[in-house]
Amino acid sequence: MPGSEQREFRAEVRKVLNILTNSLYTNREIFLRELISNASDALDKLRYRANRGETPRLPDTPLEIRITLNKDARTLTIADTGVGMTPEELADNLGTIAKSGSEEFLAGLSSQEGKDGEPADASNIIGRFGVGFYSVFMVAEKVEVTSRPAFADGDPAAWRWSSDGLGTFTVEECADAEPARGTVIVAHLKEDASEFLEPYRVQSVIRKHSAFVPFPVLVDGERVNTQPALWREPKSSIKPEDYNAFYKHLTYDSADPLDVLHISVDAPVQFNALLYIPATAQDFFGADRDFWGLDLYARRVLIQHRNKDVIPDWLAFLKGVVDTEDLPLNISRETLQENRVLMKISQTITKQMLSHLEKMAADRPDVYARFWKLHSKVFKLSYQDFAQRERVAALMRFNSSRLDDGDALTGLDDYMSRAPEGQKTFWYLSAPNREAARLSPHLERFRKKGIEVLFLYEPVDEFVMEGLGVYKEWNFKAVENAADDALDAFADKEDDAPAATPLSEDDSRTFDELMKRIKEILGDRVADVRVSHRLADSPAVLVSPDGGMTSSMEKLFRAMHKDDSIPVKTLELNRDHPLLRSLLRIFKADPQDKALAGMAELLFEGCLLREGYVKDPQALAGHANALMEQAAAWYTEVRKI
Ligand code: ADP
Ligand code: MG
């Protein structure tokens, strides 16, 4: 360890400090929560290593956190008897932050900016990205951290880290200073932070934010926290407020959870678990990527924060605690993976959570709908869990053509109960939103037959459909892959407009010629031109070659491969549409008619547009204008104006 020269904070630490010291934040009191949580972590670490057979110095020292307030010196001091830090650790742990951590923290802070110039609230995100300690500089103008490691060889000296939080810090030896073991932090409070010199104020902050810390917390010698390990208490003795308070302690979420499941299991393994469904959305595909798992305890001793072996990834939205009697206290974190006890816990939690959700869906559909809105992105990944497929399929929810609005949801069982006799397929359609789905030409003949279609708005949904494969002997199919005769067994809805008069045999043959001509006009841009059996109201549609991917899947793959070319598809024409009937008449008069070519172009471009492929909007607008120019001229002639 180098001497006691001044050292610079790394750039990312300076940025975080600069913001915390200079910006006004509400909820500055949470600095106490952060210091207490670090002290508690240090005590947890000591207990964990002691259980594994290491002997700390002064083994009889109680595990506790002592806070003392000194009005004359204007200091708040917090001392713990935990693992402590070596001088190297002081410099590393309190002088650096993982770079990604500081970036995510700063990004998070700016998204929490107060409205209308109100001070921002940092309390939800501080402590999340390894920046908790620095929050002390919201209230302190100078901080000294003196530490003596618990597991060093021989008789280690104490070392002191100190800083005013501006740009530099020092680490120096002060061999005989307190503590005898662990860490003492002295915060010299700023002018405007005198409230934290008042015992009643500090006690109330601790009761609010640190009530469940599993070690005694004392203020000026008096014990403040008295909450037991909630998950070990009998359910009948726990009030909803207690559950909510523990949730907030665990997550720093300011909102109450949506729901809680408290379980106590004796076989095949003994464990207690407290599982919360947050009422707040999480971003597991972004900032919250690694921020999941349950806190794992063995006989009330914390083994690991956010253990990811006790729940499957599709339950990642759960927050909570698992405590088991069946793990040895001396288990090492490194050997937790593949541990049979954890595997059994995960299986039991999965089953109980599914039962809980099934009950919620049946008895409290409005709460279930909220759950779905918040957490379905993750929950849907359960389609890959082969063992649970039938149960998770029943819990899936989608919007559909039959529902009143884009927010309404249906399950597969309800869909089945509404389907006409003989239907054995869940029909679905992918689209960016309900408006786009309802305009899809592929939907037209389903509408005509009154057959409900599930609307899928997220890319993962199609994978879910393919992954589920079959549910209660029904299969899943995209409407655009429906065979020509797929709906023949179902009668048209009666209120439908009368069908167009069929083409005569002669005209049918001429229509085939017209299709050849259109193929000639469009050339390689279409694979083929043929008669459509799927359209009711639209003149034309582009379809993928039979059995191919759906267009949304295809788009996903093209995006993945950065391929922005336009796929070559088959153009299907609606023979009964007035536009095609007119084109047929023009064609009969003159197969080489110039206007016909222009209209065929525009018809094709309109189809591309609907599919979401527009590469050249200039050309499209040009063609539309040219045609309109002609139409307007004819119109004035016809109307004689
Ligand atoms: P986090 O707690 O998320 O790691 P913090 O900024 O709160 O981030 O703390 C940084 C690190 O400093 C901790 O991980 C720990 O290694 C060390 N540390 C802070 N306070 C203490 C303490 N009281 N005893 C021992 N180590 C501590
Ligand atoms: Mg911390």
Is residue 168's pLDDT more than 60? yes
How far, in Å, is the centroid of ligand 2 from the Cα of 39? 8
Give yes or no for residue 183 CB within 6 A of ligand 1: yes
Using 50, 70 and 90 to split pLDDT, how confident is the model at 105? confident
- Contact predicate 39/183, CB 8 Å: yes
Mean pLDDT, rounded, for 138-163: 95
How far, in Å, is the centroid of ligand 1 from the Cα of 133? 6
Domain 396-481: CATH class, spelled out: alpha beta
Query: Which region holds residue 471: left if phi is over 0, alpha if psi is between -120 and 50, else beta?
Result: beta
Residue 373 in tokens: 């809105």
How far, in Å, is the centroid of ligand 1 from the Cα of 225? 21
Which fold is adopted by the domain 505-639?
A: Four Helix Bundle (Hemerythrin (Met), subunit A) (1.20.120)
Using 50, 70 and 90 to split pLDDT, how confident is the model at 581? very high
Torsion of CA 197, 199, 201, 205, to 10 degrees: 110
Residue-level pLDDT at 334: 80
Kindly give the pairing relationship between strand 217-219 and strand 65-70: parallel
pLDDT tens digits along 539-550: 999 988 766 678
Is residue 118's pLDDT more than 70? no
The helix (run of H) or strand (run of E) holding residue 342 is helix 340-363
Is residue 121's pLDDT more than 80? no
Give yes or no for residue 132 CB within 6 A of ligand 1: yes
Residue-level pLDDT at 564: 81
Q: Over the chain, what is the mean pLDDT?
A: 90
Mean pLDDT is lowest, of 199-203, 231-235, 519-523, for: 231-235
Q: The whole model's pTM is what?
A: 0.78
Give yes or no for residue 143 CB within 6 A of ligand 1: no
Mean pLDDT is lowest, of 97-106, 252-261, 583-592, for: 97-106
Mean pLDDT, rounded, for 230-249: 93
How far, in Å, is the centroid of ligand 1 from the Cα of 125? 16
**CA-proximal residue: ligand 1, atom 23 (nearest):** 39
pLDDT tens digits along 286-304: 878 888 999 999 888 888 8
- Minimum-distance ligand 1 atom for the alpha carbon of 185: 23
Q: Which residue would you say has higher pLDDT here, 545 or 577?
A: 577
Residue-level pLDDT at 473: 97
Using 50, 70 and 90 to split pLDDT, how confident is the model at 117? low
Which fold is adopted by the domain 4-223?
A: Heat Shock Protein 90 (3.30.565)
**CA-proximal residue: ligand 1, atom 18 (nearest):** 38
What is the sign of the dihedral through the CA atoms of 215, 218, 223 and 226? negative
Give yes or no for residue 86 CB within 6 A of ligand 1: no
Amino acid, single-letter form, for residue 641: I
Using 50, 70 and 90 to split pLDDT, how confident is the model at 91? very high
Kindly give the pairing relationship between strand 168-173 and strand 159-163: antiparallel
How far, in Å, is the centroid of ligand 1 from the Cα of 45? 11
**What are the DSSP E strand ranges found in 266-356?**
271-277, 294-298, 301-307, 319-324
Mean pLDDT, rounded, for 97-109: 77
Instruction: Tokens 């599914």: give the residue.
Output: 354
Mean pLDDT, rounded, for 175-181: 93
Written in H, E and C, the secondary structure of 29-98 is CHHHHHHHHHHHHHHHHHHHHHHCCCCCCCCCCCCCEEEEEECCCCEEEEEECCCCCCHHHHHHHCCCCC
Is residue 239's pLDDT more than 90? yes
- Contact predicate 253/345, CB 8 Å: no
Mean pLDDT, rounded, for 7-29: 83
Is residue 620's pLDDT more than 90? no
Q: Which residue would you say has higher pLDDT here, 563 or 48?
A: 48
- Contact predicate 261/272, CB 8 Å: no
How far, in Å, is the centroid of ligand 2 from the Cα of 242? 24
Give the domain ranges of the chain.
4-223, 230-366, 396-481, 505-639
Among 13, 46, 93, name the best residue to mutate to test ligand 1's pocket (greatest count of ligand atoms within 8 A of Cβ). 93
Give yes or no for residue 131 CB within 6 A of ligand 1: yes
Please give the Cα distance from 193 to 211 (Å, whole number): 22
Is residue 453's pLDDT more than 90? yes
* Residues linked to residue 307 through DSSP beta bridges, in sequence order: 294
Residue-level pLDDT at 127: 67
Work out the percent of the chain whose per-residue pLDDT is above 70. Answer: 96
Comparing CA positions, the residue from 539, 544, 527, 543 lying closest to residue 574 is: 539
Please give the Cα distance from 289 to 285 (Å, whole number): 6
DSSP H helices, 523-616, are: 551-560, 578-589, 594-611
Amino acid, single-letter form, for residue 99: K
Using 50, 70 and 90 to split pLDDT, how confident is the model at 129? confident
How far, in Å, is the centroid of ligand 2 from the Cα of 22? 21
Which fold is adopted by the domain 230-366?
A: Ribosomal Protein S5; domain 2 (3.30.230)
Among 13, 40, 41, name the best residue to mutate to test ligand 1's pocket (greatest count of ligand atoms within 8 A of Cβ). 41
Give yes or no for residue 93 CB within 6 A of ligand 1: yes
pLDDT tens digits along 363-377: 999 999 999 999 999
Is residue 499's pLDDT more than 80? no
C-alpha distances out from residue 348 to 271, 295, 305, 381, 432, Å: 10, 16, 20, 19, 37
Is residue 384's pLDDT more than 80? yes
How far, in Å, is the centroid of ligand 1 from the Cα of 93? 6
Q: Which residue would you say has higher pLDDT here, 20 or 62?
A: 62
Give yes or no for residue 82 CB within 6 A of ligand 1: yes
Reduced to 3 states (helix: H, G, I; strand: E, B; else coil), residue 321 is strand
- Minimum-distance ligand 1 atom for the alpha carbon of 134: 6
